[in-house]
């Protein structure tokens, strides 16, 4: 009986706390800012975890398998794992709130990184592949976290809110590839293969990110947003307030998803084979880490500017800019001399920038087009498609390079990005 009374008191206290946010617009604004801050901390850590696998995953598989034909497989496994995790995180967030979903996703990513470390120690491909799948959960969660910042944002703030959380990923994402040699040396000092070193960083980063969210993301922004929307809808039904809940815009969801799918596929395909391409032209692991560091920095650092532009100029205009930027990146990567560090940095930076614009544009369209009551579930489902498109790009990239060349891969990726333009033309019926 005492336990039931204590549980009842806890639930009453939690209900009162949630109610205090619902009744105060000032507290809602404060929670919005606090959520952005907490998610930004997790993004710094998650960015470091994300960068580890991107930088050395292909090289680790190439070393184990003895061929580059399947060097794109780790990227494919990471993104397949990301797809499953995106669905899981979306469903958990819908049922229990962002805190539960994001915490679970980051913890799974950390577990996968630990599995990769043991696979490298044992030289076991059979352990490496499932571990990479699980490790992909960290990548999915790192992307899903961008939605948390929009839960309490107005429509004119959404792209900016997404960009604020994403820009903090830069700090970890740029540091990660540039710690490749340091972590490799550390791994060797404890008897672990050097290529597994970055995954030690990845495990620590993902687990810390999950811990931060679990402890600090209270009250849950999605729970507050849903409750506010439900109260407003009830008041609207009674004629006390004008209707604020819009119906789901399926066309907007399709367009937003297509923009993200195409940009992800092009970006992953070219990025995956760039380390292998550079190693063929005499670059060492440090040079590869530098180029990937610039690339990942360009994926996230411009977010504050691109997010504001997307809110000001509209989602569709900036989606076209994404396609053009990706085309330029593909052409430059294709025709730049393989031994030119400067041109490779520029090409991969443009690739990251194009992805950034496309991802924020598409994400903002998804948020604009969904209802609060079903938003997290829809966001998770869309991110599954995004992850699968990345998996396809990663899997095919190695085969294209092995059967043809890096030049062919880069040109094909640039041309594919142009499909964004007819998609945007079709989307003119979607409100900006």
| Residue 285 belongs to domain with CATH number | 1.20.1250.20
Provide, rounded to the nearest whole percent, the portion of the chain with pLDDT above 90: 31
pLDDT at 248: 75
pLDDT at 357: 95
- Residue 163 in any domain: the answer is yes
In angstroms, the CA 375 to CA 363 distance is: 12
- Residue 243 in any domain: the answer is yes
Q: How distant, in Å, are the alpha carbons of 4, 82, 287, 295 from that of 55?
A: 51, 17, 11, 11
- Residue 221 in any domain: the answer is yes
Number of domain units in the chain: 1
- In the structure, what pLDDT confidence band is assigned to residue 7 with cuts at 50, 70 and 90? very low
Residue 329 has pLDDT above 90, yes or no: yes
- Residue 141 in any domain: the answer is yes
pLDDT at 223: 86
- In the structure, what pLDDT confidence band is assigned to residue 349 with cuts at 50, 70 and 90? very high
- Residue 314 in any domain: the answer is yes
- Residue 284 in any domain: the answer is yes
Residue 410 has pLDDT above 70, yes or no: yes
Q: What is the mean pLDDT of residues 124-130?
A: 88
pLDDT at 10: 42
Q: With helix as H, strand as E and coil as C, how does the chain read?
A: CHHHHHHHHHHHHHHHHHHHHHCCHHHHHHHHHHHHHHHHHHHHHHHHHHHHHHHHHHHHHHHHHCCCCCCCHHHHHHHHHHHHHHHHHHHHHHHHCHHHHHHHHHHHHHHHHHHHHHHHHHCCHHHHHHHHHHHHHHHHHHHHHHHHCCCCCCHHHHHHHHHHHHHCHHHHHHHHHHCHHHHHHHHHHCCCCHHHHHHHHHHHHHHHHHHHHHHHCCCCHHHHHHHHHHHHHHHHHCCCCCCCCCCCCHHHHHHHHHHHHHHHHHHHHHHHHHHHHHHHCCCCHHHHHHHHHHHHHHHHCCHHHHHHHHHHHCHHHHHHHHHHHHHHHHHHHHHCCCCCHHHHHHHHHHHHHHHHHHHHHHHHHHHHHCCCCCHHHHHHHHHHHHHHHHHHHHHHHHHHHHHCCHHHHHHHHHHHHCCHHHHHHHHHHCCC
In angstroms, the CA 52 to CA 172 distance is: 10
- Residue 11 in any domain: the answer is no
Higher per-residue pLDDT: 237 or 426: 426
Residue 377 sits in which domain range? Answer: 27-429
- Residue 295 in any domain: the answer is yes
Q: What is the mean pLDDT of residues 350-363?
A: 95
132: number of Cβ within 10 Å: 28
pLDDT at 15: 64
In angstroms, the CA 427 to CA 420 distance is: 10
pLDDT at 140: 87
DSSP string, 197-220: HHHHHHHHHHHHHHHHHHHH--S-
């Amino acid at each position: 009986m005492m336990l039931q009374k204590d549980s009842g008191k806890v639930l009453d206290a939690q209900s009162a706390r949630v109610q205090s946010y619902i009744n105060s617009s000032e507290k809602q604004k404060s929670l919005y800012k606090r959520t952005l801050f907490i998610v930004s901390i997790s993004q710094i850590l998650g960015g470091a975890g994300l960068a580890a696998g991107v930088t050395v995953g292909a090289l680790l598989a190439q070393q184990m398998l003895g061929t580059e034909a399947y060097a794109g497989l780790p990227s494919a496994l990471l993104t397949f794992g990301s797809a499953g995790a995106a669905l899981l995180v979306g469903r958990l967030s819908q049922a229990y709130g962002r805190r539960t979903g994001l915490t679970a996703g980051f913890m799974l990513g950390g577990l996968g990184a630990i599995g990769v470390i043991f696979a490298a120690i044992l030289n076991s491909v059979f352990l490496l592949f499932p571990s990479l799948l699980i490790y992909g959960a960290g990548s999915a969660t790192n992307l899903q976290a961008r939605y948390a910042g929009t839960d309490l944002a107005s429509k004119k703030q959404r792209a900016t809110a997404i960009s604020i959380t994403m820009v903090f990923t830069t700090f970890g994402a740029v540091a990660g590839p540039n710690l490749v040699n340091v972590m490799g040396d550390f791994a060797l000092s404890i008897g672990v293969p050097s290529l597994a070193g970055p995954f030690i960083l990845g495990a620590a980063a993902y687990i810390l990110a999950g811990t931060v969210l679990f402890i600090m993301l209270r009250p849950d922004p999605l729970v507050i947003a849903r409750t506010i929307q439900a109260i407003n809808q009830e008041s609207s039904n009674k004629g006390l307030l004008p209707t604020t809940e819009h119906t789901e815009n399926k066309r907007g969801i399709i367009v937003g998803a297509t923009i993200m799918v195409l940009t992800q596929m092009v970006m992953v395909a070219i990025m995956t084979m760039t380390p292998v391409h550079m190693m063929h032209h005499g670059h060492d692991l440090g040079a590869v880490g530098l180029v990937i560091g610039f690339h990942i920095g360009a994926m996230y650092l411009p977010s504050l500017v691109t997010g504001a532009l997307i809110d000001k100029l509209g989602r569709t205009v900036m989606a076209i800019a994404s396609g053009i930027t990706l085309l330029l990146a593909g052409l430059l990567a294709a025709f730049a001399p393989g031994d030119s560090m400067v041109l490779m940095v520029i090409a991969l930076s443009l690739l990251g920038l194009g992805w950034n614009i496309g991802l924020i544009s598409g994400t903002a369209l998804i948020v604009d087009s969904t209802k609060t009551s079903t938003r997290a579930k829809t966001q998770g489902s869309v991110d599954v498609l995004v992850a699968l498109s990345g998996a396809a790009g990663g899997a095919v990239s190695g085969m294209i390079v092995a059967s043809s060349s890096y030049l062919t891969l880069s040109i094909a990726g640039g041309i594919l990005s142009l499909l964004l333009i007819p998609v945007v033309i079709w989307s003119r019926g979607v409100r900006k």
